A and B are shown apart, each in its own frame.
Chain A
Amino acid sequence: MTGMQFGIFTVGDVTTDPTTGQTPTEHQRIKDTVAIALKAEEIGLDVFATGEHHNPPFIASAPTTTLAYIGAQTKNILLSTSTTLITTTDPVLIAENYAKLQHLTDGRVDLMMGRGNTGPVYPWFGKDIRQGINLAIENYALLHRLWTEDVVDWQGRFRTPLQGFTSTPRPLDGVAPFVWHGSIRSPEIAEQAAYYGDGFFHNHIFWPASHTRQMVALYRKRFAHYGHGTEEQAVVGLGGQVFMNKNSQDAVRIFRPYFDNAPVYGHGPSLEDFTEATPLTVGSPQQVIERTLSFRDYVGDYQRQLFLMDHAGLPLKMVLEQLDLLGEILPTLREEFAKVRKPGVPDAPTHATLVEKAGGAHDSTVYAAGDTATGTSDRDLDDPEVAAVIEGEL
């Protein structure tokens, strides 16, 4: 898994198949999501990412439960998020949950921070949507410290203060999971990603290329400004959306009813207009290869390409067939991107590359001073008076 990573991302929507009128149950959709992730590993993809939502029609709550379950059944695929709600989730819980996942999967974890798509999620979790950007900035500042500092004193505006707090488990090998910051149209988030030297992921699929180009260019410029390297060394990810068939007319014919009724853009522009305006590609595998390669023309060499494959009510069988087709073009995509890649462009970050960058793995367990239950003591045993008391008690 060097150079560029390819994968899929899901938002976990329960959507009626417009061609049959059938809507999966939550249970079915949850199981289907796992089947899709296992298929992604089988066809050799590098990344599976799930969204996080807290309302119908989504089944994407509790993302680390899903990812851990998938992680237990896979060996290679990197598990990620699309996105983790940094605005409304307690950063302490994010720190704990994803560090735990990192240990369980031997480092096959990274995350993408996002702000969500449903306004009421903010009040449901006791937050104010007008503070969306501020929450994203302050919460991540805390999360970053929880992963890089063993003991944190914290006081902020949005959460209760922490004194002498240690988030457990500590990150695997002393290296925090890599973080991407995802945004469609908030330059502040590109700025945030640049400041930390983290990755920037542009969703890409809902806006025209001209906009994606601007967001990525801003991130690259500011990445260099903050001294993390050259603009070309910034770490960029993109979304994409494809539907393939050996025969491109069949692809259009089969996909059109799904497109026309899709929850996000359905009943709006024609499939043809939307295909022209956004990266959506509906056609032959060769067309998908060519379109995907063209993304590089406006964002430069980049590290991660995720495709949205299971949406708009497409039944599981069709999604798995699509993944088979994606698996078939994967070697070509890798090869063609590698051919044109400029020297000096960093590989996609993985746990291994991060450990190497950190100068090797080191266990970062923070051993507590101890207590009587585990045989050590939180009292000073070197103090003879204390020792005498304890021995007497025991």
Chain B
Amino acid sequence: MKRIVVVTAGLSVPSSTRLLADLLGDAAQRAVEARGVEAEVEFVELRPLAHALADHLLTGFPSGELAAAIEKVHRADGLVVVTPVFSASYSGLFKTFFDVLELGVLDGKPVVVAATAGTARHSLVLDHALRPLFSYLHAVVMPTGVFAASEDFGSTVDGDLQKRVDRAAGELATMVAGSHAAAPEPARKTVEDEFENPTDFETLLRRASEG
């Protein structure tokens, strides 16, 4: 069973960001299952975690539901992340969630980046803001990002939103379902990894003296 987690940062109800997240979640599930592997899709809505995220910035630790959301992301085989565009970039809420993740949580994780806005003029936000962010976090960003302006939820001359959704989902599914998939040996051990499998002291000593 492969786990796809969709992180979505829409603020309004209903939210076009959530709408796009749903499209991507469904498509990813279909695409993984089309490759003969079972898949489940879980959503992480950031709006209800807004207070907990602000608290985390101040206290340094995640409270209950936020801790559970982070754990979900940590355990995911593949991620879809969707943000509304605010002032020419991802929203602050969206960024905060990824700011509080510990180093290594996204290492080697396949990610589809997606964004929504009122106008297609913001579409480069995928490549100018989201892609560098997830590259920095050592995620493996799929070649196809999905941007949806309001007009894309109808039919447009620029082509079918669903086609872009399916292409991105297909790329993600290939990584997630493939045996040789993304997940190479993660470069960094997280704190949780250390609890399960501590680095022995001789190694720590050697690392200290050799760098």
Interface residue stretch chosen among B9-17, B59-67, B117-125, B174-182 = B59-67
Which residues from A are CB-within-8-Å of B204? 133, 137, 188, 191-192
> A185 contacts B191, CB within 8 Å?
yes
Contact of B195 among A137, A187, A195, A274 (CB under 8 A): A187
Task: Map CB proximity to B onto A115-137 as digits: 1 under 8 Å, 0 otherwise.
Answer: 00000000000000001011101
How many A-B pairs with Cβ below 8 Å? 75
Chain B residue nearest to A208 (CB atoms) is B61
Within 8 A of B (CB), among A184-208: 185-188, 190-192, 194-195, 206-208
Is there a chain B Cβ closer than 8 Å to A379's Cβ? no
Cβ of A267 and Cβ of B208 under 8 Å apart? no
| A364: Cβ under 8 A from any B Cβ | no
- In the complex, the answer to whether A268 meets B54 with C-beta atoms within 8 Å is yes
Neighbouring A residues of B205 by C-beta, 8 Å: 137-138, 141
> Counting CB contacts under 8 A, is A152 at the interface?
no
On chain B, the residues within 8 Å of A226 by CB distance are 201
Query: Which residues from chain B contact A191 at a C-beta distance below 8 Å?
Result: 198-201, 204
0/1 interface trace, chain A 131-171, chain B, CB 8 Å (1 if under)? 10111011001000000000000001100000000000000
Known: A206-B60, A207-B61, A211-B61. A269 touches B55 (CB 8 A): yes
Interface size class of B (residues with CB under 8 A): 20 to 34
Contacts of B208 in A (CB 8 A): 133-135, 137-138, 141, 157
Q: Are A206 and B198 in contact (CB under 8 A)?
A: no
The count of residues in chain A whose C-beta lies closer than 8 Å to any C-beta of chain B is 35
B194 surroundings in chain A (CB, below 8 A): 187-188, 218
Report the Cα distance A137→B205, complex, angstroms: 6
Contact B201 A156 (CB under 8 A): no
Cβ of A273 < 8 Å from any Cβ of B?
Answer: yes
A187-B191 in contact (CB<8A): yes
**A354: interface (CB < 8 Å):** no
Q: Give Cα A186 to B191, complex, Å.
A: 7
Does the CB pair A268–B199 fall under 8 Å? no
A69 proximal to B (CB < 8 A): no
Q: CB within 8 A of B59: which of A157, A188, A265?
A: A265
Q: Is B211 an interface residue (CB 8 A)?
A: yes
- Report the minimum CB–CB distance from B135 to chain A (whole Å): 20
Q: Please name all residues of chain B whose beta carbon is closer than 8 Å to the beta carbon of A38 when the two chains form the complex.
A: none
Bound CA span A373–B173, Å: 82
Give, as a whole number of angstroms, the nearest-CB distance from B200 to chain A.
Answer: 7
Please indicate the chain A residues that have their CB under 8 angstroms from the CB of B58 in the complex. Answer: 265-269
Interface status of B163 (Cβ within 8 A of chain A): no
Chain B hits for A131, CB < 8 A? 211
Q: In the complex, what residue of chain B is closest to A217 when comparing beta carbons?
A: B195
B209 within 8 A of A: yes
Does B195 lie within 8 Å of A138, measured CB to CB?
A: no
A222 CA / B203 CA spacing, docked (Å):
14
Asked if A92 CB lies within 8 Å of chain B CBs, one says no
Given contacts A137-B208, A138-B208, A191-B198, contact A206 B61 (CB under 8 A): yes
**Smallest CB gap from B60: residue in A:** A206
Chain A residues with CB under 8 Å of chain B are 131, 133-135, 137-138, 141, 156-157, 185-188, 190-192, 194-195, 206-208, 211, 214, 218, 222, 226, 264-269, 273-274, 277
Chain B residues proximal to chain A, CB less than 8 Å: 54-55, 57-61, 63-64, 191, 194-195, 198-201, 204-205, 207-211
